[in-house]
Amino acid sequence: MTAVCAADNIISPLGWTTEENIAAVLAGRSALMPHEWAFGLTEPFVASLVDRTAVSERFGAYAGMYTVFEQMCILSIREAVSAAGIDASSAALVLSTTKANVDSLGTPHYVPPADSAARIAAAVGVALPPLVVSNACISGVCAQIEAKRILAGGKVPAVIVCGCDVQSRFIVSGFQSFKALSPQECRPFDASRCGLNLGEAAATVVYVAKDRTQSGGWILRSGAVRNDANHISGPSRTGEGSYRALRHVTAGIAVEDLAFISAHGTATPYNDEMESIAIERAGLLGVPVNSFKGYYGHTMGAAGVLECILSMHAFDRGLIPATRGFGTLGVSRPVDVSAAVRDVPPRARGFVKLISGFGGCNAAALFLKGGE
Amino acid sequence: MEELILELKEEIIDALNLEEVTPADIDNDAPLFGEGLGLDSIDALELIILLEKKYGIRLSNPQEGKEVFKSVAVMAGYVKDNRKK
Amino acid sequence: MASVNVMRKVEISSDAVSVDGVALPVCGSGEAMLDWIYRTHVGGYPKYHKMDLLCKLGFIASELLLAGEDGRFVPRDDRAVILFNRTGSQCDDLRYLSTITEGEGYFPSPAVFVYTLPNIVTGEIAIRNKYYGETSFYLISGPDTWMMLEVAGQAMDCGGVSSALTGWVECPGEDKLECMMMLAEKTVNFAD
Contact residues on chain C for B17, CB-CB shorter than 8 A: 49-50, 111
- Same-domain check for residues A236 and A277: yes
Nearest residue of chain A to residue C87 (CA atoms):
A112
Average pLDDT, stretch A187-215?
Answer: 91
Give me the domain span that covers residue A304.
218-369
Buried b (16+ CB within 10 A) or exposed e, A343-361: ebeeebbbbbbbbbbbbbb
- Same-domain check for residues A58 and A110: yes
Maximum CA pair distance of chain C?
68
Contact residues on chain A for C134, CB-CB shorter than 8 A: 224-227
Nearest residue of chain A to residue C123 (CA atoms):
A359
**Does the pLDDT of residue C188 top 80, yes or no?**
no
A174 touches chain C (CB under 8 A): yes
Per the DSSP assignment, residues forming a β-bridge with A262 are A290, A353
**Does the pLDDT of residue A215 top 80, yes or no?**
no
Write the residue in B19, B21, B49 that is nearest to C109 by C-beta: B49
- Same-domain check for residues A256 and A134: no
Look at residue B33 in the predicted model and tell me its pLDDT: 86
A170 touches chain C (CB under 8 A): yes
- Same-domain check for residues A131 and A17: yes
A152 touches chain C (CB under 8 A): yes
**Does the pLDDT of residue C103 top 90, yes or no?**
no
- Counting one residue from B and one from C, how many pairs have CB atoms under 8 Å apart? 26
Domains detected in chain C: 2-188 (3.40.47.10)
- Same-domain check for residues A67 and A146: yes
> How far apart (Å, rounded) are the C-alpha atoms in residues C181 and C176?
16
Q: Collapsing DSSP states into helix, strand and coil, what is residue C66?
A: helix
- Same-domain check for residues A172 and A316: no
Q: Which chains touch C (3 or more CB pairs under 8 A)?
A: A, B
CB–CB of B45 and A179 under 8 A?
yes
Angle at A310 between CA A72 and CA A291, to 5 degrees: 105
C105 touches chain B (CB under 8 A): no
**CB interface of C with A, residues 138-167, below 8 Å:** 138-141, 144, 147, 150-151, 154-155, 157-158, 160
Q: Which pLDDT band, with edges at 50, 70 and 90, does A213 fall under?
A: low
C134 touches chain A (CB under 8 A): yes
- Same-domain check for residues A142 and A32: yes
Nearest residue of chain A to residue B59 (CA atoms):
A179
A178 touches chain C (CB under 8 A): yes
Residue of B11, B18, B20 to mutate for C, most C C-beta atoms under 10 A: B20
A230 touches chain B (CB under 8 A): no
Per the DSSP assignment, residues forming a β-bridge with A45 are A35
> How far apart (Å, rounded) are the C-alpha atoms in residues C181 and C66?
11
> Which of the listed residues A182, A210, A238 is the one where a domain comes to its end?
A210
Read off the pLDDT of residues A226-283 as tens digits, 9 standing for 90 and up. Answer: 999 999 998 899 999 999 999 999 999 999 999 999 999 999 999 999 999 999 999 9
CB–CB of C88 and A134 under 8 A?
yes
**CB interface of A with C, residues 266-305, below 8 Å:** none
- Same-domain check for residues A224 and A168: no
- Pairing of β A92-96 and β A158-165: parallel
**CB interface of C with B, residues 49-78, below 8 Å:** 49-50
Read off the pLDDT of residues C136-152 as tens digits, 9 standing for 90 and up. Answer: 999 999 999 999 999 99
Look at residue A372 in the predicted model and tell me its pLDDT: 52
Q: Which pLDDT band, with edges at 50, 70 and 90, does A294 fall under?
A: very high
CB A143 within 8 A of CB A365: no
> Which of the listed residues A154, A175, A210 is the one where a domain comes to its end?
A210
Instruction: Give the other-Cβ count within 10 Å of A40's Cβ.
Output: 10
- Same-domain check for residues A272 and A195: no
Read off the pLDDT of residues A357-369 as tens digits, 9 standing for 90 and up. Answer: 999 999 999 999 9
CB–CB of A234 and B62 under 8 A?
no
**Does the pLDDT of residue C192 top 50, yes or no?**
no
The residue with greater pLDDT, C192 or C112, is C112
Average pLDDT, stretch B43-67?
Answer: 87
* Check: complex ipTM more than 0.95: yes
CATH number of the domain residue A243 falls in: 3.40.47.10
Element (H, E) at C153: helix C145-156
Contact residues on chain B for A234, CB-CB shorter than 8 A: 40-41
**Does the pLDDT of residue A212 top 70, yes or no?**
no
- Same-domain check for residues A204 and A229: no
Contact residues on chain A for B40, CB-CB shorter than 8 A: 231, 234
Read off the pLDDT of residues A109-168 as tens digits, 9 standing for 90 and up. Answer: 999 999 999 999 999 999 999 999 999 999 999 999 999 999 999 999 999 999 999 999
- Same-domain check for residues A57 and A166: yes
Instruction: Give the other-Cβ count within 10 Å of A33's Cβ.
Output: 12
> How far apart (Å, rounded) are the C-alpha atoms in residues C134 and A371?
27
Look at residue A81 in the predicted model and tell me its pLDDT: 98
B42 touches chain C (CB under 8 A): yes
> How far apart (Å, rounded) are the C-alpha atoms in residues A363 and A241?
8
Nearest residue of chain B to residue C44 (CA atoms):
B20
Number of domains making up chain A: 2
- Same-domain check for residues A180 and A70: yes
Percentage of the residues of chain A whose pLDDT score is greater than 70: 98
> Which of the listed residues A210, A232, A267 is the one where a domain comes to its end?
A210
CB–CB of C49 and B20 under 8 A?
yes
CB–CB of C113 and A240 under 8 A?
no
Q: Which chains touch B (3 or more CB pairs under 8 A)?
A: A, C
Question: How far, in Å, are A5, A161, A274, A302 from residue A144 at the CA level?
Answer: 10, 6, 24, 11
Averaged confidence pLDDT in chain A: 96
B57 touches chain C (CB under 8 A): no
Read off the pLDDT of residues C149-175 as tens digits, 9 standing for 90 and up. Answer: 999 999 998 888 999 999 999 999 889
